Amino acid sequence: MVRLLILYEMPLDEAAFLKHFHEVHIPLARKVPGIRRHFFGHQPMLIRGSVPVFLVEGFDFDDMDAFGAAARSPHGLVSAQDITDNLQPLSPGMRSMVYEVIEELV
């Protein structure tokens, strides 16, 4: 399994960020093909570190090929552009990463 993880720092305008995230971004993101799971959580509590994270968002895919196909798909490109054009300006310190989940314990 491959996971795309996005960390959004405290937004410049919290209300505008949340409105766009829930009303525009989530509906766009959920159209991306190949997503096995989409999850997010508001205001996570940091255990270590000092960067204030406001929201964590994640997407799981079967493998790196599935992630690549999703990212290159029309819906994937629109969703990524939405982040660049709308969410990143509201949360300028946002970070994202893709990694292979080696082991998942149950």
CATH assignment of the domain containing 81: 3.30.70.100
- Residue 38: inside a domain: yes
Domain that holds residue 29: 2-52+59-100
pLDDT in tens, 63-100: 999 999 999 999 999 999 999 999 999 999 899 999 99
Phi-psi region of 49 (alpha: psi -120 to 50; beta: other; left: phi over 0): left
Distance separating the N- and C-terminal Cα atoms of the chain: 15
Mean pLDDT of 14-36: 96
Q: What is the reported pLDDT for 27? A: 97
Percent of the chain with pLDDT over 90: 83
- Residue 18: inside a domain: yes
Counting Cα atoms < 13 Å in the Cβ hemisphere of 6 gives: 22
- Residue 75: inside a domain: yes
- Residue 106: inside a domain: no
- Residue 70: inside a domain: yes
Rounded to two decimals, what is the model's pTM?
0.89
